[in-house]
Chains A and B, each alone.
Chain A
Amino acid sequence: MSRRLPHSLGALAAVLAAMSLPAVSVAGQAPAPAATRAAAKPAAAPARPYVQPKTPWGDPDLQGIWNDATSTPLQRPARLGEKGVLAEEEADQFAEELAEDLNRDRRDGGPEADVNRAYNEHWMDAKRLEATKDRRTSLIVDPPDGRIPPRIAPTPEAAKIRAARAEADARFVAGLPDDVEDFSLPVRCIIRTDSPPYLPTIYNNDFQIFQSPGFVVIQPEMIHSARVIPVDGRPHLTKNIKLWLGDTRGHWEGNTLVVETTNFRDDPGVTYQNTDAGTFTIIERFTRVGPDRINYEYTVSDPKTWTKPWKAMIPWNKTDDQIYEYACHEFNYDLVHLMHGSRLRQAKGETVPARAPRPGADDR
């Protein structure tokens, strides 16, 4: 029996082949120390300096529809150590393995895996099976091991909130939610992948950037919110206004849009990776490095969560796709189905198993 390879692999191979020419000289050189290479510019930098287009009012032009899907993992597989960038042949192999791991049409894991993969490739963004063209082994570029720095033990208060959240997740996963608040914020359609930082996910990876004098506006595909970024130097809102998506200000550093977001609400799950909304910081940088590509970088820190700040870079590739309306709350039938089912099952005496499986592929 031949294992079915995702059809996008052919296209991926073509892409990699096409871009391997300028990269060969780099790949053929003596390898730089791994730590340097991890932080170095992507291998496939264009030969001539790219001239960034400007808007009619003189700002760097980022307008367009962009897609950030990739199979390259946020964190580097531990076996690769500090190897931040792969040689061409290794990269092909790595990309193939990633695509195979992510492929949800596989039927080689037994009935339980099959059920988990029932939400199959039909629903997925095929672009998420493609590794980044710069042949990196992780989206994280700092620290050099490509992994999120160690977590700091939460305060007793934070631990309590987190434990309550874990119990709610367990009820959700068991199909036995008590309350609508047991569902995560994405499932409740309050925030989804529109909350910074922007990370590749299973589908709806498009972002449309609009600009007008004094503003850059990002419309993530999921949900339909617009992130309005003033670039006119105005101060942040006062701390009395808290927002699900935070209060965003931007400025230009050369051709790079630098974005700082503050004033996040402190509900569990609002700030990235369960950080503390009071101490979490995030700086995002958008740099157009070619006609069809923006490098999106984010640096996050939270002295209550991680031992040090860390940084990731995700390429955004221009797409000819259109973004269609993402109506979430309006048709959230399954939330009602799950609540309804939970009442029926609880009436029959069902309870949450002691060790309910952890939530699988959440959208965030």
Chain B
Amino acid sequence: MRIRLRGVAIAVGTVAAVVGGLWVLTIPTAGQAPAATGQFPAAYRAPRLDGHPDLNGIWQSVTSANWNIEDHDAQPGLHPELEGAYDAQSAGQGIVEGGVIPYRPEMLAKRKQNFEKRGIVDVVTSDEKWHDSGDPELKCYMPGVPRATYMPFPFQIVQGSGPYILMAYEYASTTRTIRMNFKEEAPTDSWMGWSRGRWEGETLVVDVTGFNDLTWFDRAGNFHTDALHVVERYTAVSPYHIQYEATIEDPKVFTRPWKISLPLYRRMDKGVQLLEYKCVPFTEELLYGKLRKNPRR
């Protein structure tokens, strides 16, 4: 009994040491009921690195948003006749604030078409049709922003003392450089956009422009044009969590700006490191197989 009590005391002590005295002050019931889900203590202050909140680490979302950022049922994969429950999709609560993306009504048909043709790839007919169908993820293309953040792969934030922060994503070995307090506008369109950052108190704010119109938000076919403008906010809300928010604006597709939010979890696995997910070789048969001298299918 004494041992058990001491165990509890150690656990509580550890929590207090980790999150600081504020936890005890703001949540007097600490050690009893957990805080409501989706809420973090309001006043967490991250450790500092070179004067700024230290966001270094390997992070990952725990969500099915890559399937669909809106609420969704469980559903089969593209080829249940081959894959059974492999590649099937779990149900999920979406990450869109308010639940629904404010599409212009005339744009919904395009989303439907994207979804229906998400598994259809034609890179053979002409260069112009190359990107007309097929989820970019299916083809191992760079995922764009914010999708890279909630794909089911870890990513590492590399924050030092220079004017740059690197986001290194395991998926497709994609990277994105965040230029801090940088003036130069996007020199050209790109898959991952042109990211310029600044600190607002506890929050890393990243303004992303210069997108091409080729990435999707998810496998459900939610999409944007090259008018996309994303403002991301990364706020450490505990030693183990970043609250991620992104405001998404694209007047060609949406009636107003809208927002997604989700927590990112620090990967705590022993010895965890980014591995390689170079998926290009996994796509070559799908993309180019028809053009083999002796096609396999």
Contacts and interface: CB of A to CB of B under 8 A. Distances in A.
Interface of A: 55-57, 61, 63-64, 178-181, 188-191, 208, 210-213, 215, 217, 219, 223-226, 228, 230, 234-235, 237, 241, 243-245, 322-325, 327, 329-330, 333, 335-336, 339-340, 342-343, 346
Interface in B243-297: 271, 273-276, 278, 280-281, 284, 288, 291-294
B156 A179 contact: no
B160 A243 contact: no
A228 B273 contact: yes
A230 B284 CA distance: 32
A346 B293 contact: yes
A226 B160 contact: no
B142 A55 contact: no
A61 B160 CA distance: 10
Contact of B284 (A188, A211, A234): A188
Contacts of A188: 280-281, 284
B205 to A, nearest CB: 19
Nearest to A215: B158
B288 A178 contact: no
A325 B191 contact: yes
Contacts of A235: 271
B81 interface: no
Nearest to B296: A179
A263 B281 CA distance: 19
Contact of B123 (A190, A322, A336): A336
B225 interface: no
B161 interface: yes
Contact of B124 (A226, A230, A336): A336
Contacts of B278: 190-191, 244
A324 B187 contact: yes
A228 B274 contact: yes
A97 to B, nearest CB: 35
Top 3 nearest A-B pairs (CB, nearest first) are A226-B168, A339-B291, A225-B173
Contact of A189 (B168, B184, B188, B280): B280
B280 A210 contact: no
A330 B50 contact: no
A360 to B, nearest CB: 23
B173 A224 contact: yes
A60 to B, nearest CB: 12
Contact of B141 (A219, A329, A333, A343): A329
B293 A212 contact: no
B190 interface: yes
Contacts of B284: 180-181, 188
Given A63-B162, A180-B284, A189-B280, A330 B142 contact: yes
A57 B281 CA distance: 40
B11 interface: no
Contact of B288 (A57, A322, A327, A335): A335
B161 A56 contact: yes
B162 A243 contact: no
B281 to A, nearest CB: 6
B166 interface: yes
B158 A212 contact: yes
24 contacts: A63-B164, A64-B162, A180-B291, A188-B280, A208-B166, A210-B164, A211-B161, A211-B162, A212-B160, A219-B175, A226-B156, A226-B166, A228-B156, A230-B273, A234-B273, A322-B187, A325-B142, A325-B191, A327-B142, A333-B130, A336-B124, A339-B291, A340-B124, A342-B293
B142 to A, nearest CB: 6
A344 to B, nearest CB: 11
A225 B175 contact: yes
B84 to A, nearest CB: 27
A327 B280 contact: no
A289 B19 CA distance: 42
B177 A208 contact: yes
B238 interface: no
Interface string B48-68: 011000001000000000000
A112 to B, nearest CB: 28
A336 B291 contact: yes
Nearest to A188: B280
Contact of B159 (A179, A181, A212, A342): A212
Given A190-B280, A226-B175, A324-B190, 9 more contacts: A55-B160, A63-B162, A208-B166, A212-B56, A219-B177, A225-B173, A226-B156, A228-B168, A235-B271
Contacts of A228: 156, 158, 168, 273-274
Contact of B275 (A213, A219, A241): A241
Contacts of B280: 188-190, 329
A247 to B, nearest CB: 8
